[in-house]
Structure formats: structure tokens, C-alpha cells
Amino acid sequence: MGAQLNPYLSFRDNARQAMEFYRSVFGGELTVSTFGEFHASDLPEEQDKVMHSALTAPHGLVLMGADTPNAMDLTPGNNFSISLSGDDEAELRGYWDQLADGGTVAMPLEKAPWGDIFGMCTDRFGVPWMVNIAGTSG
């Protein structure tokens, strides 16, 4: 699969409700994973928060979303990122290197709890990016 570019929305505690709403609007299949399922937070109040959700609607629309951990800032109006994902590690690492150059790395591109290679950065123009390389052994 080639690289995919998708909007990624951030919420505080209502990602599940928001994504269910978008499913009612656009149709399609919604998958939801929590922080607890991936042991991604030790805080009891974050176990049921959505770590990742993806709505795959008819005609190719894909919308992703998650709850923001309590320790991270969430500013309405700036609660989006662009998700770049696929399984071509060389291609995606190349994009990552260029996007991170002159920007700020929030999470290095490395193996994540779900097994893929994942990283978060903000490019030099202030646009937040998430890169996920699937099916790697990183």
C-alpha cells in the first residue's frame, strides 16, 4: 500500500462520542482502541480514553481521532494533526526526516506499543504530523 494522508482530530474525553457522530454522518466502519488496551497509560482515569480510532467511510473517506492524555495540551481550534501512514518504511522515513527538519519532534520515530513505528512532530510551519509505519519490526 502506498502512503495515506488523513486528517486526525484530537479531543479531551469525548473522542468515542465524536467519532460515533461522524459515523452517523458519513457512514462506514469505525474501529476504536483505548489506552488501556495497549497499556499506554498508568493512570486509571485514562484507561478508557480513546488512544486511536479510525472511521473508514464509503468512497474512500478516512477520518481518525483520539482523546488527548491529561498531561498534554489541547487547544480547541488547533486540535488536529495530519496522519501519514503506510508500510513503505523508506518512503515514510524520508517524509519524516524532511517534515522534522527545522521543526520540533514531540515523539521520536520509533517502535510503538501497538508494534508499528510511530512518531509525532511539528514542521517548521507549525503543522503537526503523525507518521505510522505499519508492519515493521523496528
Interatomic CA distance for residues 30 and 75, integer angstroms: 25
Q: What are phi and psi of 69, to 5 degrees?
A: -55, 150
What confidence category does residue 138 fall into, taking pLDDT thresholds of 50, 70 and 90? very low
CA separation for the pair 58, 94 (Å, rounded) = 30
CATH code of 115's domain? 3.10.180.10
pTM (two decimals): 0.75
Q: Is 128:120 a contact under the CB 8 Å cutoff?
A: yes
Q: Is residue 4 part of a domain?
A: no
CA distance 82 to 69: 18
pLDDT tens for 55-67 read 998 878 899 999 9
Domain assignment of residue 107, yes or no: yes
- How far apart CA 116 and CA 112 sit, in angstroms, is 6
**Domain's final residue, options 51, 69, 87:** 69
Number of separate domains in the chain: 2
User: Each residue of 73-124: pLDDT tens digit?
Assistant: 888 878 888 999 999 999 999 999 999 999 999 999 999 989 999 999 999 8
Strand order in the sheet with 29-34: 29-34, 50-56, 62-67, 4-11, 80-86, 128-133, 117-122, 104-111
The residues near 68 (Cβ < 8 Å, ≥ 6 apart) are: 10, 11, 12, 74, 79
In a domain, 14, yes or no: yes
Residues 6+ apart with CB under 8 A from 59: none
Shared domain for 83 and 111, answered yes or no, is: yes
